[in-house]
Amino acid sequence: MSKRQKTSLMRIIITAAMFFPLLVAEHMGRMDSMPRWAMLIIFLIPYVIIGYDVVKKAFINISHGQVFDENFLMMVATFGALAVSEYSEAVAVMLFYQVGELFQSYAVDKSRQSISAMMDMVPEYANLETEEGLAEVDPDDVEIGSIVVIKPGEKVPLDGVVIEGESMLDTSALTGESVPRRIKEGEEIFSGCINGNGTLRVRTSKEFDDSTVARILELVENAGDKKARVENFITRFAKYYTPIVTLSALALAVIGPVVTIISQSSVKAQALSTVAASLAASGEIKNIISNWLLRACTFLVVSCPCALVISVPLGFFGGIGAASKKGILVKGSNYLELVSKVDTVVFDKTGTLTKGEFKVKRIIADTKAMKDLKTVGSSADDVELAILDIAAHAESYSTHPIAMSIIEAYRERTGERSEALLDSSRVENAHEDAGHGVDVRVDGRMVTIGNGKHLEKHGIKYEPCDENGTIVYVAIDDIYAGAIVISDTVKDGVKDAITGMKQAGVTRCVMLTGDRRPAAEYTARDLNIDDYYSDLLPQDKVIKVEELLTKEQEGRYLAFVGDGINDAPVLARADVGFAMGSMGSDAAIEAADIVLMDDDLGKIASVISISRRTMGIVKQNIVFAISVKILVLVLSAFGFANMWAAVFADVGVAVLAILNSMRTLKN
Amino acid sequence: MKKKFKLEDLDCANCAAKMEAAIKEIPGVINASVNFLAQKMMIEADDDKFDDIVKKAAECISKVEPDCKVVF
């Protein structure tokens, strides 16, 4: 508890200790004989103790031109109660208002703390290697390329590359994954992880502000800036609610007595002036006016929208916190709101559903063609090697994963480890047709290598191969010579993740891929994916997602899941963009709306259920708070609800709503 | 220039919204936000008037909530 909260608590205790005996005495009739002024003074003492700052703030704010704030409303309401001799009500309103305020500030502090505890991964220092030995410095002061030492149990202060040592890393603060990860020399290390039992020497690759931990914290802190639609609704509601209730209170105070007098005159069938005169003579008019004044004051007590204004953002804050505990970064409350209504999830295949690790599975050689082309030895194996040799050289300039896998296979077959494996002097005039294939001269022969479309474009006849995987066709001097089958492996747990999403309410899973139809169909069926679009070039994916977006029903949303490496435009275009396996990838963190720090697709189902739960809690609060307030307003307008009910509608509802919101923090 | 400041004793969510609106009205401010839960204020404004603007923003804040202070 902060110092301010403690002072406030003391004031509440003192006031309560003074006030309750007075309240009991009043109810037992012990004070009936007391003159009004004496009662006023007795009750003013606790009133001043508990309410002086509210009254002070009200005046300061009026002098700044801020009317209609809660301090002002509380002041008017309690002054009104004092004026109509409802002394205990005046003190009670102030007392409970302060209790509510204290509770609010305590609850907010609490959730703030539990989130920062969750995000307890900020390194306090770095062990910088200097000429004079190790120095403990602020991570902020470490320059790129410096060498830091991470001792067992310490937090990794900055992103970098391990240059010495081996250890197990606890990445749970970043990824939510509790199984430690092995790290050794030459591997990348990210700030925010906790070192296990080995000592590591790391060459830093980023400044602290750009390092993983700083970026994540910034994301979570800024998440509150992107407001959800319900939050904006509450802001608008609060803007109109308070003035409307205040004006109604004024109307009640003025029109109420007039209405009572008119109705009495019609009941007694007397002239208005006669009734007014007789009421004034009997002193009855004073009772009528104070009765209505009290109702007006009751209105003012209910007029603060605090319960909503605080509990709704708090709910989202908690939901975002709960997600980040699991290694899911939600970049704004609005995305949490959208995710709760996602019914279509679109996946990029490579790197998302599959590992993106391509391997040559089979080489098919057209032996006859190869013989005619006179490029071969005698055995079948040699024909395969010859195809691989040509393909590897043809692809030698490409960095495409498919090309890399061919070169890798060639390396394995020849057993050659050296860098000088490929003889670049054999290759000339390479021309790449992105997404299709390569035309190149190898050993002076025209090699056309690529997918079926690429060969068709050159008018080359080939034997279509329908094996599962990516097929690279090879033609030499415009004659089909063979094909290489390359396949990718499905990631672990993808099937379960898709089942989980379906259970969480996703109705349709769609896969986008550059693969040919048979391969795409095979993967889709294997993973229980409802729909797939094959033979797509990178730019086609945006078009496909746009097409799917137009098919979405009103109020339903589409999510796209990618690895964030080359699908940034698609991530941006979808209602919600998920990037996965993003630890350390700036581009992915930048482009996505929701970032999964590790590779686990199962987290999509988790975030959907967290968002549903959060939205549920937020909606409960809105409905509960608004309906209680309206109920109390209506009842008090007709004189059925007293100020105690109003205090409940204000403070009680706020406290309950906050307690409810804090549930979002829990899983 | 874009800078973040910590706020102390920012106690009411409604006030944070009022502060944000007031700071956005200061001439030269490109964007501003007051985050109640993070207790932080972000100001994006023209470089040459930045210090001046921050001072004015601090005034706006104490106008809305006298107890609330900007930590420089």
For A139-162, give the secondary structure using H, E and C.
HHHCCCCCEEEECCCCECCCCEEE
Chain centre distance of CA A556? 18
Mean pLDDT of the region A16-45: 85
Looking at A8-12, A287-291, A422-426, which range is the least confident one? A422-426
Could you report the per-residue pLDDT of A329-341, keeping only the tens digit for each? 888 889 999 999 9
Which tokens hold the place of A201? 């020497």
Which tokens hold the place of A563? 């690895």
What is the CATH code of the structural domain delimited by A355-489? Answer: 3.40.1110.10
Say which of A104, A306, A317 has its CB closest to residue B37. A317
In the prediction, which pLDDT does A508 show? 92
Tell me the pLDDT band of A388, cut-offs 50, 70 and 90. confident
A224/B13 CB distance under 8 A: no
- Residues A160, A204 contacting (CB under 8 angstroms): yes
**What is the maximum alpha-carbon separation in chain B?**
32
- Residues A159, A190 contacting (CB under 8 angstroms): yes
A238/B14 CB distance under 8 A: yes
The proportion of chain A whose per-residue pLDDT surpasses 90, expressed as a percent, equals: 17
Looking at A248-252, A487-491, A558-562, A660-664, which range is the least confident one? A487-491
A222: which chain B residues are within 8 Å (Cβ-Cβ)? 35
Best mean pLDDT range from A468-472, A604-608, B39-43: A604-608
Chain A nearest-CA distance from B51, in A, is 23
Please state whether beta strands A166-170 and A181-184 pair in parallel, antiparallel, or not at all (unpaired): antiparallel
Beta bridge partners of B35: B40
**Residue A351 touches partner B, C-beta closer than 8 Å:** no
Of A607, A659, A526, A24, nearest to A342 by C-alpha is A607
Which tokens hold the place of A639? 């004189």
Tell me the pLDDT band of A471, cut-offs 50, 70 and 90. confident
Q: Which residue has the higher pLDDT, A382 or A114?
A: A382
**Residue A306 touches partner B, C-beta closer than 8 Å:** yes
Measured distance CA(A644)–CA(A96) in Å, rounded = 10
A313/B64 CB distance under 8 A: no
In the prediction, which pLDDT does A655 show? 87
CATH of A328-353+491-597, one of 3.30.420.10, 3.40.50.1000, 3.40.50.10490, 3.40.50.300: 3.40.50.1000
Could you report the per-residue pLDDT of A408-446, keeping only the tens digit for each? 888 887 776 555 577 777 888 778 777 788 888 888 888
A85-119 in b/e form (b: 16+ CB < 10 A) is: ebbbbbbbbbbbbbbbbbbbbebbeebbebbeebb
Is residue A15 over pLDDT 80? yes
Could you report the per-residue pLDDT of A272-287, keeping only the tens digit for each? 777 777 777 777 778 8
In the DSSP assignment, the letter for residue A40 is H
Is residue A379 over pLDDT 70? no
* Domain ranges for chain B: 2-71
CB atoms within 10 A of CB B9: 14
Measured distance CA(B12)–CA(B15) in Å, rounded = 5
Is residue A377 over pLDDT 60? no
A235: which chain B residues are within 8 Å (Cβ-Cβ)? 17
**Residue B40 touches partner A, C-beta closer than 8 Å:** yes
Mean pLDDT of the region B52-61: 89
The proportion of chain A whose per-residue pLDDT surpasses 70, expressed as a percent, equals: 95
Is residue A232 over pLDDT 80? yes
Measured distance CA(A333)–CA(A193) in Å, rounded = 26
A4/B9 CB distance under 8 A: yes
Which uninterrupted H or E stretch holds A511? strand A508-512
Of A361, A79, A323, nearest to A223 by C-alpha is A323
Strand, coil or helix: B47? coil
In the prediction, which pLDDT does A120 show? 65
Q: What is the ipTM of this complex?
A: 0.75
Say which of A101, A105, A221 has its CB closest to residue B38. A221
Could you report the per-residue pLDDT of A59-72, keeping only the tens digit for each? 888 887 777 777 88
* Domain ranges for chain A: 3-115+227-314+617-665, 126-157+159-205, 328-353+491-597, 355-489
Burial class (CB in 10 A: 0-12, 13-18, 19+), A124: exposed
Measured distance CA(A452)–CA(A517) in Å, rounded = 12
Alpha carbon distances (Å) from A161 to A135, A144, A183, A298, A504: 20, 11, 10, 65, 39
Is residue A318 over pLDDT 80? yes
In the DSSP assignment, the letter for residue A465 is -
- Sheet of A126-130, strands arranged across: A133-137, A126-130, A147-150, A200-204, A160-164, A188-189
Could you report the per-residue pLDDT of B20-34, keeping only the tens digit for each? 888 988 888 988 888
A471-482 in b/e form (b: 16+ CB < 10 A) is: bbbbbbeebbbb
Residue-averaged pLDDT of chain A: 84
B18: which chain A residues are within 8 Å (Cβ-Cβ)? 66
Of A608, A511, A179, A121, nearest to A596 by C-alpha is A608
A87-118 and A36-63 are packed helices; what angle lies between their axes, rounded to 10 degrees?
Answer: 40
**Residue B36 touches partner A, C-beta closer than 8 Å:** yes
Which tokens hold the place of A427? 């290759």
In the prediction, which pLDDT does A336 show? 92
- Sheet of A427-433, strands arranged across: A354-365, A479-490, A470-476, A445-450, A437-442, A427-433
Tell me the pLDDT band of A17, cut-offs 50, 70 and 90. very high
pTM above 0.90, yes or no: no
CATH topology of domain A126-157+159-205: 2.70.150
Say which of A4, A69, A112 has its CB closest to residue B37. A112
In the prediction, which pLDDT does A417 show? 57
Looking at A87-101, A130-144, A285-299, A361-375, which range is the least confident one? A361-375
Interface of A with B in 141-200 (CB under 8 A): none
Mean pLDDT of the region A454-469: 81
Q: Which residue of chain A comes nearest to B6, CA vs CA? A: A221
* Phi, psi at A93, each rounded to 5°: -60, -50
Q: Does domain B2-71 have CATH number 3.30.559.10?
A: no
Is residue A188 over pLDDT 80? yes
Is residue A21 over pLDDT 70? yes
Which uninterrupted H or E stretch holds B69? strand B69-71
Beta bridge partners of A490: A354
Is residue A393 over pLDDT 60? yes
In the prediction, which pLDDT does A375 show? 60
Of A235, A335, A353, nearest to A610 by C-alpha is A335
Strand, coil or helix: A228? coil
Say which of B14, B18, B64 has its CB closest to residue A306. B14
Measured distance CA(A637)–CA(A118) in Å, rounded = 47
- Residues A46, A92 contacting (CB under 8 angstroms): no
Chain B nearest-CA distance from A57, in A, is 8
The radius of gyration of chain B's CA atoms, rounded to the nearest angstrom, is: 11
A62: which chain B residues are within 8 Å (Cβ-Cβ)? none
Which tokens hold the place of A448? 């056309």
From A159, A170, A348, A600, the catalytic residue:
A348
Measured distance CA(A271)–CA(A348) in Å, rounded = 83
Mean pLDDT of the region A104-127: 75
Of A23, A1, A248, nearest to A113 by C-alpha is A1
CB atoms within 10 A of CB A9: 15
Mean pLDDT of the region A366-371: 74
- Residues A94, A51 contacting (CB under 8 angstroms): yes
Measured distance CA(A127)–CA(A147) in Å, rounded = 9
A225/B35 CB distance under 8 A: yes
The answer to whether A563 is a known catalytic residue is: no
B14: which chain A residues are within 8 Å (Cβ-Cβ)? 69-70, 238, 305-306, 309
Which tokens hold the place of A528? 């229980």
Is residue A111 over pLDDT 80? no
**Residue A112 touches partner B, C-beta closer than 8 Å:** yes
In the prediction, which pLDDT does A384 show? 80
B35: which chain A residues are within 8 Å (Cβ-Cβ)? 221-222, 224-225
Chain A nearest-CA distance from B42, in A, is 10
In the prediction, which pLDDT does A416 show? 65
Chain centre distance of CA A80? 45
Of A451, A528, A487, nearest to A354 by C-alpha is A487
**What is the maximum alpha-carbon separation in chain A?**
128
